[in-house]
C-alpha cells in the first residue's frame, strides 16, 4: 500500500535526512511470515550511512511511530522493521483505488499511445497449423492485449510464410498428381499430404528438387499458372487458419506475409549498398559485422542471385519503421531464430542508428515430443484443431458426469478445452522448453485453465445472487484473515500487469491468476457471502465485485474464455 509506505518514508527521512537517497517505496518488502506484520522495511542498507548496526537502526526508527494510528503494531526483528497496518484504514484506502475502475483508468495511461508492432503466429502457408504454432500465436496475442490495455497503440502483424521454394514443390507435384479443383475441394490437409508425398518421392528421385526450383522461378517471374496456384494455396490455408484464430480469439491488424516485401527487396539492398555496408564474399552479397559482435555475416543474396529469409526480414523491418514509426517492434518466435534476428537487427542498426533498441526478439523455448520426431516434411505434426477437439471432448465427458445445468454444453466445453490448452502454455516462462504431453495438456485440475475458469464461475454465481449492491461499505467487516489475504493479492494487480508488459511475459499474469484463485477459494471455503447478515453481505459482495473485475481482466489479457456455468 503506497500511502502507508510514503507516510513511513516521510517520517523516517524527516528524522534521518541522510538516507533520503536510498529509501523509496521499492525498498519495502512483504514479510515472509505474515505474523510479523504487513510490510517490512529492511534496514541493512542504512547501516553504512548512519554508522549503526541494522538492529539498532530498526529500533530507533520504530520509536518514530509511537502513537501513529495507521499502524497497530511495529516490531523490529533481525534488522527488519515490521509494520502491522490498521486494517480498516488500509482496506478503506485500497478499496478506494479499486472501486469505480480507478485502477484500470490509471493503467490505461501508461502506454501514452506509443506504437508497438507485434509480429506473431506467422504460420507457413500450405502447412496445417500444428501445436508448434500455438506458442507464438497465443504469447503474441497476449502481449498484444497487455500493451493495448496499458494504452499502447498495439499493431498485430501476421508475417505469413508465403514465399519460398516449398511452393515450387507443391506446384510441380499438383500439376503432376492433382488438379486445381481437387485442392479447392480438399483443402489444407490435402496440400499437407502432397508436400509429404513430394518429399518421399524426392528421396528416390533428386531431379524433383530441380523441377520444384523451376516452378518457384516461374512464380517469381509472375507466370500466370504459378500465380494461380500460389493464390489458391493462400486462400485454402487462410480458410483453415481463420477457423483456429476465431476459436482462440486471435486477431491481426495486418496480414502481410513475406511475399508482400518482395517488391522492396531490390530497394532494400540498394539502400544498404549505398551506405557501404555490403560486400561480396564467396560469391554472395553479405553484410559483415564487427569482430566483437561474434556473428557470421548476414547473407542478402545467394551466389545465384536469389534473396533469403534475412533479406525479407530486413525489408520488413525497414518497411515497419517508415510505415508505423514505432516505439518498439516485437518479434515472437522460437529461440532457435535468435542469431537470425540478432543479425537482422544489427544490420538495421548499422543502416539507421536511431533504430537501436527499437527491435526486440521475444523468444520462447522449443517444443518437443517424447514419442515422435516432429517434421512437417514427414507429416507427423500434432494438428492444433485436434488438440482443441480432444480437450473439448474431455470437457463434454466431465460435464455429463457432473450433470451440470448448462444451456449450451458444446460451446462451454469448447471454451473449457481452449482454456486448458492456452493456460497450459502461458503459465510457464516463455524461455522454458516444453515437451508436449497429452495428459498434461488435457489436465483440468490443479494449476490449470479450467481451474481458473471454475473459480471465476464461483465468483459470478455469488454476484448473480446478490440483488442489491450498497455503495456505503463497512470496511471493518472485511478485516478477517481470508478477506484480508484476498485484498493483499488483489493489491498486486497493478505491479503484475506492468511487470508482465515490461518483460513481455504473460506467465506473470497466469501465475497471478493462480494466486487470485487460490486466495479466493480459501475465502470461499470460510466466508459465506450470500445470505449472511445484511451489512456483512454488502461488504463481502463489494470485495467479490472488485475481485471479479481484476480477475476477468487477467483472463481477458491471456485469452482464456470466460464461462458463467460449468
Binding to RNA (CB under 7 A) within 155-184 occurs at: 161, 163-165
Among 2, 6, 73, 78, binds RNA (CB under 7 A): 78
CB nearer to RNA: pick between 55 and 93: 55
Side-chain half-sphere CA neighbours of 29 within 13 A: 12
Residues 507-546 that bind RNA (CB under 7 A): 507-508, 511, 514, 517-518, 521-522, 524-525, 527-531
End-to-end CA distance of the chain: 36
Q: How far is the CB of 513 from RNA (least distance, A)?
A: 11
Q: How far is the CB of 80 from RNA (least distance, A)?
A: 3
Residues 333-352 that bind RNA (CB under 7 A): 335-340
By residue count, the chain amounts to 566
Among 7, 13, 115, 499, binds RNA (CB under 7 A): 499
Q: Which three cell numbers stand for residue 521?
A: 477459494
Sign of CA dihedral 198, 203, 206, 210: positive
Residues 367-396 that bind RNA (CB under 7 A): 368, 395
CB nearer to RNA: pick between 115 and 480: 480
Does 565 bind RNA (CB under 7 A)? Our answer is yes
Q: Which of 266, 275, 269 is nearest to 353 (CA)?
A: 275
Q: The cell 517492434 sits on which residue?
A: 329
Residues 246-305 that bind RNA (CB under 7 A): 258, 281-284, 286, 294, 296-297, 299, 302-304
CB nearer to RNA: pick between 184 and 266: 266
CA 245 to chain centre: 16
Q: Which of 312, 423, 437, 422 is nearest to 368 (CA)?
A: 437
Q: How far is the CB of 115 from RNA (least distance, A)?
A: 23
> Distance between CA 413 and CA 424 in Å, rounded?
16
Among 174, 399, 422, 558, binds RNA (CB under 7 A): 399
Q: Which residues contact 411 (CB under 8 A, 6 or more apart)?
A: none
Q: The cell 554508522 sits on which residue?
A: 51
CB nearer to RNA: pick between 87 and 451: 451
> Distance between CA 40 and CA 28 in Å, rounded?
6
CB nearer to RNA: pick between 154 and 455: 455
| Beta-carbon count within 10 A of 248 CB | 20
CA distances from 12 to 16, 40, 61 (A): 6, 14, 7
Q: Which residues is 39 bridged to in the sheet?
A: 83
CB nearer to RNA: pick between 384 and 418: 418
> Distance between CA 299 and CA 305 in Å, rounded?
11
Give Dmax (Cα) for the chain. Answer: 90
CB nearer to RNA: pick between 49 and 186: 49
> Distance between CA 191 and CA 179 in Å, rounded?
11
Q: How far is the CB of 529 from RNA (least distance, A)?
A: 4
Q: The cell 501513529 sits on which residue?
A: 68
Residues 183-202 that bind RNA (CB under 7 A): none
Interface size with RNA, residues (CB under 7 A): 97
CB nearer to RNA: pick between 29 and 100: 29
Among 402, 410, 469, 481, binds RNA (CB under 7 A): 402
Q: How far is the CB of 132 from RNA (least distance, A)?
A: 13
DSSP 248-317: HT---SB---GGGGGGGHHHHHHHHHHTT-EEEETTEEEE---GGG--PPEEEE-TTS-B-HHHHHHHHH
CB nearer to RNA: pick between 54 and 561: 54
Residues 405-444 that bind RNA (CB under 7 A): 416, 427-429, 431-434, 440, 443-444
CA 354 to chain centre: 27
Among 465, 469, 474, 481, binds RNA (CB under 7 A): 465
CB nearer to RNA: pick between 65 and 186: 65
| Structural contact between residues 95 and 3, judged by C-beta atoms closer than 8 angstroms | no
Residues 58-77 that bind RNA (CB under 7 A): 77
CB nearer to RNA: pick between 186 and 340: 340
Among 10, 15, 30, 380, binds RNA (CB under 7 A): 30
Q: How far is the CB of 251 from RNA (least distance, A)?
A: 23
Q: How far is the CB of 525 from RNA (least distance, A)?
A: 4
CB nearer to RNA: pick between 115 and 532: 532
Among 18, 105, 225, 495, binds RNA (CB under 7 A): 495
Q: Which residues contact 403 (CB under 8 A, 6 or more apart)?
A: none
Q: How far is the CB of 427 from RNA (least distance, A)?
A: 6
Q: Which residues is 155 bridged to in the sheet?
A: 117
Q: How far is the CB of 416 from RNA (least distance, A)?
A: 5
Stretch that binds RNA, among 134-142, 143-151, 187-195, 449-457 (CB under 7 A): 449-457
Supply φ then ψ for residue 40, to 5 degrees: -130, 145
Does 458 bind RNA (CB under 7 A)? Our answer is yes
Does 115 bind RNA (CB under 7 A)? Our answer is no
Does 42 bind RNA (CB under 7 A)? Our answer is yes
CB nearer to RNA: pick between 174 and 286: 286
∠ at Cα 251 (446, 551), nearest 5°?
35
Q: How far is the CB of 124 from RNA (least distance, A)?
A: 6
Torsion on CA atoms 289, 292, 294, 295, rounded to nearest 10: -10
Does 110 bind RNA (CB under 7 A)? Our answer is no
| Structural contact between residues 136 and 364, judged by C-beta atoms closer than 8 angstroms | yes
Residues 204-243 that bind RNA (CB under 7 A): none
Amino acid at each position: 500500500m503506497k500511502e502507508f509506505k510514503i507516510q513511513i518514508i516521510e517520517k523516517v527521512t524527516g528524522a534521518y535526512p541522510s538516507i533520503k537517497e536510498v529509501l523509496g517505496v521499492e525498498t519495502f518488502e512483504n514479510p515472509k511470515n505474515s505474523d510479523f506484520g504487513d510490510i517490512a522495511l529492511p534496514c541493512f542498507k542504512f547501516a553504512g550511512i548512519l554508522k549503526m548496526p541494522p538492529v539498532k537502526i530498526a529500533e530507533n526508527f520504530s520509536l518514530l511511530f509511537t502513537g501513529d494510528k495507521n499502524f497497530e503494531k511495529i516490531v523490529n526483528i533481525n534488522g527488519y522493521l515490521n509494520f502491522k497496518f490498521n486494517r480498516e484504514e488500509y482496506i478503506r484506502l485500497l478499496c478506494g483505488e479499486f472501486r469505480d475502475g480507478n485502477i484500470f483508468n490509471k493503467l490505461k495511461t501508461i502506454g501514452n499511445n506509443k506504437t508497438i508492432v507485434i509480429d506473431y503466429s506467422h504460420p507457413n502457408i500450405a502447412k496445417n497449423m500444428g501445436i508448434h504454432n500455438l506458442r507464438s500465436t497465443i504469447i503474441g496475442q497476449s502481449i498484444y492485449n497487455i500493451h493495448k490495455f496499458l494504452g499502447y497503440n498495439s499493431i498485430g502483424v501476421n508475417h505469413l510464410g508465403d514465399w519460398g521454394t516449398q511452393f515450387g514443390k507443391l506446384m510441380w507435384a499438383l500439376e503432376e498428381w492433382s488438379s486445381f479443383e481437387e485442392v479447392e475441394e480438399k483443402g489444407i490437409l490435402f496440400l499437407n499430404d502432397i508436400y509429404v508425398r513430394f518429399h518421399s518421392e524426392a528421396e528416390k528421385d533428386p531431379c524433383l528438387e530441380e523441377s520444384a526450383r523451376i516452378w518457384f522461378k516461374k512464380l517469381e517471374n509472375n507466370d500466370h499458372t504459378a500465380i494461380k496456384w500460389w493464390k489458391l494455396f493462400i486462400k485454402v490455408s487462410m480458410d483453415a487458419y481463420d477457423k483456429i484464430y476465431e476459436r482462440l480469439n486471435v486477431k491481426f491488424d495486418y496480414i502481410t506475409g513475406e511475399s508482400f516485401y518482395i517488391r522492396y527487396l531490390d530497394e532494400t539492398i540498394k539502400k544498404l549498398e549505398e551506405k557501404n555496408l555490403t560486400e561480396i564474399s564467396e560469391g554472395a552479397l553479405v553484410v559483415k559485422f564487427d569482430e566483437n559482435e561474434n556473428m557470421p555475416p548476414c547473407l542478402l543474396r545467394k551466389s545465384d542471385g536469389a534473396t533469403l529469409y534475412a533479406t525479407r526480414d530486413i525489408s520488413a523491418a525497414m518497411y515497419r519503421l517508415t510505415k508505423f514509426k514505432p516505439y518498439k517492434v516485437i518479434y515472437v518466435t522460437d529461440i532457435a531464430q535468435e542469431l537470425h534476428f540478432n543479425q537482422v537487427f544489427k544490420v538495421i542498426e548499422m543502416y539507421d542508428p536511431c533504430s537501436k533498441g527499437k527491435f526486440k526478439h521475444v523468444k520462447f523455448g522449443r517444443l518437443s515430443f517424447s514419442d515422435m520426431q516432429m517434421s512437417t516434411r514427414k507429416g507427423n505434426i500434432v494438428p492444433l484443431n485436434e488438440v482443441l477437439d480432444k480437450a473439448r471432448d474431455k470437457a463434454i465427458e466431465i460435464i455429463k458426469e457432473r450433470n451440470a445445468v448448462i444451456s449450451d454444453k458444446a460451446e462451454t466445453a469448447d471454451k473449457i478445452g481452449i482454456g486448458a490448452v492456452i493456460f497450459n502454455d502461458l503459465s510457464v516462462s516463455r524461455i522454458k522448453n516444453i515437451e508436449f504431453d497429452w495428459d498434461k495438456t488435457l489436465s483440468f485440475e490443479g494449476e490449470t485453465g479450467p481451474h481458473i475458469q471454475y473459480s471465476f464461475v464461483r465468483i459470478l454465481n455469488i454476484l448473480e445472487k446478490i440483488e442489491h449492491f450498497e455503495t456505503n461499505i463497512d470496511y471493518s467487516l472485511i478485516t478477517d484473515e481470508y478477506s484480508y489475504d484476498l485484498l493483499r493479492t488483489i493489491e498486486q494487480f497493478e505491479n503484475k500487469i506492468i511487470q508482465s508488459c515490461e518483460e513481455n511475459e504473460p506467465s506473470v499474469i497466469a501465475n497471478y491468476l493462480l494466486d487470485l484463485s487460490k486466495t479466493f477459494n480459501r475465502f470461499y471455503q470460510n466466508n459465506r457471502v450470500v445470505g449472511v447478515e445484511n451489512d456483512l453481505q454488502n461488504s463481502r459482495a463489494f470485495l467479490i465485485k472488485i475481485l471479479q473485475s481484476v480477475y476477468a481482466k487477467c483472463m481477458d489479457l491471456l485469452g482464456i474464455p470466460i464461462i458463467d456455468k460449468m
